[in-house]
Amino acid sequence: MKLADFATQLTDAAKTVDKVMLDLFGEKTLPGEILRPARVTDSMTYAALAGGKRLRPFLVIETAKLFGKEGEGVLRAAAAIECVHCYSLVHDDLPAMDNDDMRRGKPTTHKKYDEATAILAGDALLTYAFDILADEPTSADPLVRVSLVKTLARASGLGGMVGGQLLDLEAEGRFHPDGKPLQLDDKQILRLQAMKTGALLMAGVDMGAIIGGASKAEREQLGRYGRALGQAFQIADDLLDEEADAATVGKATGKDAAMGKGTLVRLWGKDAARKRLGDLVHEAEGALEGFGEKAATLREAARFVANRDR
């Protein structure tokens, strides 16, 4: 498969997921709800729609496909994980966190609306994700629904993304009286990144496997793929940040550097990081060996993640 074909596939999946999210946000009140104030649905829609690669939903969709599963349940799970991802970006951009003005090429949600609305839009995206998973159209099998909820909750919660975000803030010196950044070693950086960004990517793969009815062994194999893909994603992201920094030498430094964030690229150097990136792609591809040709798109996804330009 050529990279261009893969890009088309990713864009097509993104359009489908966008439509599912729009429909879900546009639902009239569900049983148990009282009223959906327009400002909440508008800001959620602003935060979640238009922009974004939809990589995590794509992983759900493509992994489920390995097991011949497609359709509404898969797409709802895909929409749910994207809701969590979008919530994390909205909260990450807030003044209390990274204080960013722009995201996906447009003003961040708190800039477009206000901080309180952005916090609530994030909260609504997060809680709705679990509603979507727990509701019957996702799967007729309640055990599958519970398993999806558990997987997404663990990846995004205190021992996953939220915990990783906290470690990240700590590493940049946020909780130190002098604001002094911590010097993390590679093991600590790997763990932080596995939590902050890796966990949700891994969850995308695992959720597809759960809906597909994968065996324990298959889930483990796919877990190896997801772990390698998550690490590759982060190293590629750090390399892109380094390149952006290099392009602004003499001007402002990149945001992560300015915040004293340690990355593997900083620790190992760019060449070693690029070499590791290549190894991770091989590792990801190797983990898919048992799935044969069916896994061609997932293999391509690993290459895409490593070679993307943002």
Q: Contacts with ligand GRG: how many residues (CB under 6 A)?
A: 16
C-alpha distances in Å from residue 131, one per residue of 41, 88, 141, 254, 267: 15, 17, 15, 38, 41
Residue placing its CB nearer to ligand GRG in the complex, 14 or 211? 14
Cβ proximity to ligand GRG, 162 vs 257, nearer residue: 162
Q: Which residue type sits at 35?
A: L
Count CA within 13 A, CB hemisphere, residue 96: 8
Both tokens assigned to 71: 């359709």
Q: Where are the alpha helices (DSSP H) in the chain?
A: 3-25, 38-48, 55-66, 72-93, 109-112, 115-134, 142-156, 161-171, 186-193, 199-212, 216-247, 255-258, 264-268, 270-287, 296-307
Task: Give yes or no for a contact between 64 and 211, defined as CB atoms under 8 angstroms apart.
Answer: yes
Nearest to 3 by CA among 310, 297, 226: 297
CA–centroid distance for 83 within its chain: 10
* Interacting residues of 183 by C-beta distance below 8 A, sequence separation 6+: 262
Is 197 one of the binding residues for ligand GRG (CB under 6 A)? yes
Residue from 9, 43, 63, 88 touching ligand GRG (CB under 6 A): that is 88
Side-chain-side CA neighbours of residue 135 (13 Å): 18
Minimum CB–partner distance for residue 306 and ligand GRG (Å): 13
Q: Is residue 106 part of the contact set for ligand GRG (CB under 6 A)? A: no
Nearest approach, Cβ of 20 to ligand GRG (angstroms)? 16
Tokens of 108: 């961040």
Least distance (Å) between residue 144 CB and ligand GRG: 26
Interactions with ligand GRG, residue window 17-76 (CB under 6 A):
52-53, 55
Binding ligand GRG by CB under 6 A: which of 81, 132, 161, 288?
Answer: 161
* Shortest Cβ 271–ligand GRG spacing (Å): 22
CB of 67 to ligand GRG, least distance (A): 24
| Residue closest to 182 by CA, chosen among 171, 169, 194 | 171
Min separation Cβ 38 and ligand GRG, Å: 25
254 lies in the site for ligand GRG, by CB under 6 A = no
Under the criterion CB under 6 A, does residue 283 sit at the interface with ligand GRG?
no
Helices 270-287 and 216-247, axial angle in degrees (round to 10): 160
Q: Would you call 106 helix, strand, or coil by DSSP? A: strand
The single residue among 76, 110, 196, 299 that binds ligand GRG, judged by CB under 6 A, is 196
Please report whether residue 91 would count as binding ligand GRG according to CB under 6 A: yes
Stretch touching ligand GRG by CB under 6 A, among 30-38, 57-65, 81-89, 261-269: 81-89
Q: Is 104 in the site for ligand GRG (CB under 6 A)?
A: yes
Stretch that binds ligand GRG, among 6-14, 35-43, 127-135, 161-169 (CB under 6 A): 161-169
In the list 7, 119, 146, 162, the residue contacting ligand GRG (rule: CB under 6 A) is: 162
- Report H helices in 135-215: 142-156, 161-171, 186-193, 199-212
Residue selected from 17, 59, 89, 144 as contacting ligand GRG according to rule CB under 6 A: 89
Q: Which is nearer to ligand GRG, 67 or 233 (CB)?
A: 233
Interacting residue ranges for ligand GRG, rule: CB under 6 A: 52-53, 55, 85, 88-89, 91-92, 97, 104, 161-162, 165, 196-197, 237
